Amino acid sequence: MDLVAFFQPLEASAIGEWMRGSLKAMPIVEAAHVLAAASVFGTVFVVDLRLLGVPGVTRAFTRVSADMTRITWLAFGLAVVTGALMFAANAHTYVINTAFGLKLIAIAAAGLNMLVFEGFTRRGVAGWDVGVQAPRTAKLAGLLSILLWVTVIFLARWIGFTKGYDFSVPDDPNIKFEF
């Protein structure tokens, strides 16, 4: 299957055109994407550190996890939406970009790590919720999560240096420097 041809209608869509043609759309959407990704990593990192017992185990894992989960999912949803908007602008360059493909694989691996943790390791949380070190499997899940999300961040930055931006200026940029 030719992925470039498959995503061509998305790139040619009104959303793709708007993202490419507006001087404000891409920087605003990209900033929102970065903030959302930072929020995802930050909240996941807090939970993972608790799994690793850093700085300690006095606060219940279930409490830390519950406090962070809502923020994580909200930020992840925003990251997906903003990422899709940026993808729509230049789909043909993303689908052939190695860093982009590896980033998606790393996100999927982080998701799989979370599913395995939630499906198996978390079942015994009552025995290590507070005041006790998490079992090795939980610590391994936390460490793997941190490594995968750091990989996602690294690959996301790599995309910016390997994507092949289109720096053409719209015919009527309508730039106004008014305050």
Tokens for 61, please give them.
Answer: 């894992």
CB under 8 Å to 57, separation ≥6 — which residues? 50, 128, 130, 131, 132, 133, 134
Residues in the chain, how many?
179
Q: What is the pLDDT of residue 148?
A: 98
Q: What is the pLDDT of residue 104?
A: 98
Q: What is the pLDDT of residue 172?
A: 72
12 in Cβ contact with 61 (< 8 Å): no
Beta strands in the chain (DSSP E): none
What is the pLDDT tens value at each position of the chain, 179 positions in all?
A: 799 899 999 999 999 999 999 999 999 999 999 999 999 999 999 999 999 999 999 999 999 999 999 999 999 999 999 999 999 999 999 999 999 999 999 999 999 999 999 999 999 999 999 999 999 999 999 999 999 999 999 999 999 888 765 556 667 767 777 76
Specify burial of residue 78 (Cβ count, 10 A radius: 0-12, 13-18, 19+): middle
pTM: 0.89
